[in-house]
Chains A and B, each alone.
Chain A
Amino acid sequence: MWWYVAKRLLQAIPVFLGATLIIFFLTKLRPGDPILGLIGNKPVSPEVREALRDQFHLNDFIGLQWLYFLKDVVTFNPDFVGLDGQPVFQKIGNALPVTGTLALLALAMDAVIGIVVGTIAGLRRNGWFDSVTLVISLILLSIPIFVVGFVLQFLFGVKWGIFAATVPVDWNVTDLLLPAFVLAIANIATTTRLTRTSVANNMSADHVRTARAKGLSGGVVIRNHVLRNSLVPVVTYIGINLGSLMAGAIITEGIFNVQGIGNLAFGAVSRGDTPLTVSVVSVMVMLYVFMSLIVDLLYAVLDPRIRYV
């Protein structure tokens, strides 16, 4: 298994290089002058402009610029700054905890609600609970996140005042409950459907009938022979979600004014701040790669037929 983990980690290197290269070029294609964005659209003297261009290597060949960027990232250069002159690593370090907590909270809600509701629906397929869940999950899936976000923000934050309407800079976990729920909604609906189908399929599996024939009671059969078997595909889906949850946080962080990775990325892109944009997106890419590795390993824990060599 360690051989497999090593191989996967080695594979992450070309993924990292490729992702940064593509994003680097894409941000360069963006119209607009980064220096103007930096100064704030004020007139700037040619000397200052040249000095700034030199400082950020903007006069060099674009491939060379990418190599400069790589050098800063790989050596964790503390003086590596974005176009606003602030150190990139520090900014990301500040934004990561709040987004990470947000994503983990959303993931927990997704897993707990999705699996519990999906299992109940799957055990009584086509019963009233199953039908009601189907309708609700379809509604949740079809409403865009920015609609649900603003509506829930208005109801819980403004009208009833149960949660804070926006997340302050010195946030705590309770402040993040509402944004996390908004973030998780679409995933909860999918997880529920997936769990439901998986459980229902397993209920009619041959080995479940054999388990009944052995004389096991209904509860034991479901606990030992239906649930774990049903969870294998669900775990994969939920694990991969963590990556998309962090990326999908851009809208939710915007609505609730969370100073996280999503906001940081949004700001960097709109300013044309290439170093910061590429760094933030690379962090997301690496998280995604790492999560899919964890999911694959979890897979082997759940299903003994899967062995990695």
Chain B
Amino acid sequence: MTETPLLEIKDLRVGFRTGKKKVLTAVDGASLSIYPGQTIAIVGESGSGKSTLAHSVIDLLPGSGHVMGGEILFEGRDISQVDRKAVLALRGSSIGLVPQDPMSNLNPLWKVGRQIKEALVANGVASGDAADKRVVELLEEAGLPDAERRARQYPHEFSGGMRQRALIAMGLAARPKLLIADEPTSALDVTVQKQILDHLDQLTDTLGVAVMLITHDLGLAAERADHLVVMYRGRVVESGPARDILQHPEHPYTKRLVSNAPSLASQRLSSVRAREEVREQAVQTAAEIAEEIAHSDTEFGEGRKDVIVVENLTKIFTLRGAKPWQKVDFAAVDDVSFRLRRGTTTAIVGESGSGKSTVARMVLDLLPPTSGNVIFDGRNIRELTSKAERLKLRRQMQPVFQNPYASLDPLYSIYQSIEEPLQLHGVGTKKEREAKVRDLLDKVSLPTTVMSRYPGELSGGQRQRVAIARALALDPEVVICDEAVSALDVLVQAQILELLNDLQAELGLSYLFITHDLAVVRQIADDVLVMQDGKVVEAAPVSEVFDNPQKDYTRKLLDAIPGATIELGA
């Protein structure tokens, strides 16, 4: 290309003041250029400085963030040096932003249409009735059906995907030359992600807008952008054409990304073989445990082969109707049946609202089913009446939840968090419990020094390890993982999946693994249950689902795995 770049970042350094004289460098000597109409993707994990880099371009760094050195040339002019007014003139009109979290990025108190109109008025594109008309056109263009009515609604009346479409309409309202898309879909279901990104692609193509796409998912980046920039710890470690990087990664970090990201790993046959080995070992260990249980009177259960049998499970919620005295029945889970074999993993896959988490809560005996049975190792959990028996059931079945930031009590030290279930169930003496906690931390590969620390001091991946250690504290037979890796970065996802696999092989655990993302399923699951609107649409072994999906809906979920079509190097 001989033309001048639209945006050229040269040796940019951005820092945050953390004390009187201390500065934390978030971006350290980053350089990149974007040509008009080009789409580039910046890939990196949380804390790699990719969002900071993007925000410094439109001077929206949070708190004490400031540019410490280098240049940001937009159409040849260094915009890191110009005054506030000049930056203000660029925002919206020349550089648009599509932010990360559609839930928090629209003002909840104003109608959606008005918020888009603001952008038109502020950038002098249109005003008055003309602006109102333009708003409807923009929403239609962003792929929102029934735009005229939607413009008059409030954000809380929109789904996540619809909100993101509104934010796209907003970012493109004044026809900027550059659009910064900061993880625009990481808060959404994979199927919605695909729709939105397809639409964004097409829209920016026709309008000739250059896009700076920021993402932690290499597969997604490679699928959407011609040019990749990989960031690691504030530095650009690798950049070049997407295909080259994927097939011949140079930097160790990029290599790890390519080999471990679930979206890419799910295509490999090696991950299938690895899973088979895990299962063989796990089933064997589990069979030994079952043998013991069968011959013991004190243990809960009978040592059956199917550790959990779910029969015709149904949950109906009664909602308020349009009139105050009316009631509407809503079937969140509708006639779901499946078996979880001892030592294996059954994955329940579906979009938000498909009822998969409700199934998990009913299996855990945290929510009474409207009808149907959950049978744990030969015992129907509905028929457990005494408190002691219920307590025994809880020992055998432990959950790991999605958000490791919310599922640990911030005021409990890691030791207290893991020890609490032992104490509750009156296991061992204080000394024995401490030894157990050390052993558990060792199992989840955390140093024992974290015992005295608090959740706020740990990273997301470390917290999820703590949550797993807590779940394993009571030596359960079944662990129910409700979106246990969905909130994590891709590499951390891969690590946690590996940990879960190792633990399964070692301890003979059975997993019920709930997720919206089929990409992670192949590395952990043996059987898959695809759910839609409360019903099971497909139930089959994992290889069947991937290689020979029977239902359109399953195919749609498979298509939504980013980067699935990209050929990889060895």
Contacts and interface: CB of A to CB of B under 8 A. Distances in A.
B109 A228 contact: yes
B118 A216 contact: yes
Contact of B92 (A3, A213, A224): A213
A213 B96 contact: yes
B119 A215 contact: yes
Contacts of B93: 215
B102 to A, nearest CB: 10
A75 interface: no
Interface string A227-263: 0110000000000000000000000000000000000
B107 A207 contact: yes
Given A209-B99, A210-B170, A305-B154, A220 B122 contact: yes
B324 A3 contact: yes
Give chain B's interface secondary structure class.
Answer: loop
Contacts of A55: none
Given A206-B104, A210-B167, A217 B92 contact: no
B317 interface: no
B118 A305 contact: no
B88 A309 contact: no
Interface string B97-112: 1010100111111100
Contacts of B97: 210, 213
A34 B122 CA distance: 72
Interface residues of A, number: 24
Interface centre among A211, A215, A220 (most CB of B within 10 A): A215
A302 interface: yes
B58 A213 contact: yes
Nearest to A306: B156
A174 interface: no
A207 B122 CA distance: 16
Nearest to B96: A213
A215 B115 CA distance: 12
B109 A229 contact: yes
Contacts of B110: 224-225
Contact of A304 (B92, B105, B109, B170): B109
B467 interface: no
Nearest to B170: A214
A231 to B, nearest CB: 10
A164 B89 CA distance: 56
A49 interface: no
B320 interface: yes
Nearest to A6: B324
B174 interface: yes
Contacts of A212: 60, 91
Contacts of A209: 60, 62, 99, 105
B88 A210 contact: no
B139 to A, nearest CB: 15
Contacts of B119: 214-216
B25 interface: no
A61 B87 CA distance: 80
A303 interface: yes
Contact of B101 (A206, A214, A216, A309): A206
Contact of B108 (A204, A220, A224, A304): A304
A152 B123 CA distance: 53
A212 to B, nearest CB: 6
B437 to A, nearest CB: 37
A75 B88 CA distance: 67
A205 interface: yes
A212 B171 CA distance: 11
Contacts of B213: none
A271 B459 CA distance: 67
Contact of B106 (A207, A215, A220, A309): A207
A309 B173 contact: no
Contacts of A216: 92, 118-119, 122
Contact of B324 (A204, A215, A303, A309): A309
A204 B259 CA distance: 38
A224 B118 contact: yes
A215 B60 CA distance: 11
Interface string B204-240: 0000000000000000000000000000000000000
B156 A214 contact: no
A215 B174 contact: yes
A206 B89 CA distance: 21
B104 A205 contact: yes
B154 A210 contact: no
A213 B109 contact: no
B109 A303 contact: yes
A309 B320 contact: yes
A302 B109 contact: yes
A3 B170 CA distance: 38
A215 B320 contact: no
Contacts of B99: 206, 209-210, 213
B106 to A, nearest CB: 6
Contact of B105 (A210, A220, A229): A210
A233 to B, nearest CB: 13
Interface in B86-144: 88-89, 91-93, 96-97, 99, 101, 104-110, 115, 118-119, 122-123
Nearest to B321: A309
A303 B173 CA distance: 26
A215 B87 CA distance: 9
A304 B154 contact: yes
Interface in B167-189: 167, 170-171, 173-174
Contacts of B324: 3, 309
Contacts of B107: 207, 211, 224-225, 229
A305 to B, nearest CB: 5
A228 B93 CA distance: 26
Contacts of A303: 108-109
Contacts of A215: 88-89, 91-93, 119, 122-123, 174
Given A216-B119, A217-B88, A305-B156, 10 more contacts: A206-B99, A206-B104, A207-B106, A210-B167, A214-B92, A215-B119, A215-B174, A216-B122, A224-B118, A304-B109
Interface of B: 58, 60, 62-63, 88-89, 91-93, 96-97, 99, 101, 104-110, 115, 118-119, 122-123, 154, 156, 167, 170-171, 173-174, 320, 324
Q: Which 8 A-B pairs have the closest CB atoms?
A: A215-B92, A213-B97, A214-B119, A206-B104, A215-B91, A304-B154, A207-B107, A210-B105
27 contacts: A3-B324, A204-B62, A204-B63, A207-B104, A209-B99, A210-B99, A210-B106, A210-B167, A210-B170, A211-B115, A213-B92, A213-B99, A213-B171, A214-B122, A214-B123, A214-B173, A215-B91, A215-B92, A216-B92, A216-B118, A217-B122, A220-B118, A224-B118, A228-B109, A303-B108, A305-B154, A305-B156
Interface of A: 3, 204-207, 209-217, 220, 224-225, 228-229, 302-305, 309
